[in-house]
Amino acid sequence: MNISILDDVHHVFGTLPSYAKLAGHQVMIWHDHTEDVDVLAERLQGAEVLALHRDRTPITAALVGRLPKLKLISMRGPYPHIDVAACTRHGILISSHQLDPQADPSWSTAELTLTLLLMSLRELPQQIESMKVGRWQSGVGRGVYGRTLGIYAYGRIGSTVARYGRTLGMQVQVWGRGASLERARADGYAVAASRQAFFSECDAISLHLPMIAATRGVVTEADLLLMKPTAVIINTSRAGLIAPNALVNALKAGRPGKAAVDVYEKEPLTDANHPLLSMPNVICTPHIGGVELDALEVMFSDVYEQIVAYAAGKPIDVMNPEALKA
């Protein structure tokens, strides 16, 4: 089969052990990122299979309609970036391994979240930069022991971060939908008394919601202004969870006092004048939560297995079985 793999900006997908599963197929790996429909349509004219790196590239009706040979889109996790109805009309199967909170913990994103928490509270970037210019000890940071860690959405990643926080001696509070709160209670974590209490009482809040229509802008400027001036908010999920301009405005107002973000409304973020990059109380990383070799191997092992199964006439992880009829 003719397979195209998108968004391998680090040139690693073809070096993973699982890549051997595609032996015998024609594979084209694209090492840049583009959302230009014209560019994508030209590149993918001969593609029978698209292998996606999460939701990096939108697969729209306009694009699908220009890919006459496409038969399968393979990926792992949620797929809000794919026009499922358009794919189904064109007979294109969507295979996506759906993640189980117990069986598929996201260690890589959880580890980055913990790293950002510690770096922010201990003010490590400032301490490091201080030494580079010949100064010794720049200010005094805060530890995490005994402080309250807020987990907004107790799912696959949030539950892992909660365990990390508990191990470090933090008091963990959870907020989210009913099912999320029930899972947290079952695992022995406290549930915030209210949304207002959650934002006002936590010393650190980490967002772990999926990015869907219902969660866009779910964290408002009013929510952020409830936070302590010593608190930090961490977002390794999706930028759209926070209402537009709310984070910058709240940080300028001093509540919360700090932020650590790995995600942005427009990616890749290459504008050095972006307001978050100029704030000394903000740590920014370039959406690397899931960009770690072991995590990528697990992800693409599933993706490649879907392609092999389809080629054998036994598709797996099918999200739109109606496409088989088309």
Catalytic (active-site) positions: 238, 267, 287
Give the length of the chain. 326
| The residue to which tokens 């580890």 are assigned | 111
Which CB contacts under 8 angstroms, 24+ apart, belong to 274-281?
275/248, 276/247, 276/248, 279/248, 279/251, 280/126, 281/251, 281/257
E strand or H helix that includes residue 178:
helix 178-186
H-run or E-run covering 115: helix 107-121
Name which of 288, 289, 300 is nearest 16 in CA terms.
300
Coil/strand/helix, residue 26 = strand
Rounded to an integer, what distance in angstroms lies between the CA atom of residue 301 and that of residue 304?
5
Closest CA to 238 of 203, 202, 214, 262: 262
Would you say the C-alpha torsion 258, 264, 268, 270 has a positive or negative sign?
negative
Facing residues of 27 across strands? 3
CA 168/CA 164 separation, integer angstroms: 6
3-state class (DSSP) for residue 289: coil
Q: Give, as one character, the DSSP assignment of residue 177.
A: S
Closest by CA position to 285, among listed 315, 259, 253 = 259
SS3 (DSSP) at 152: strand
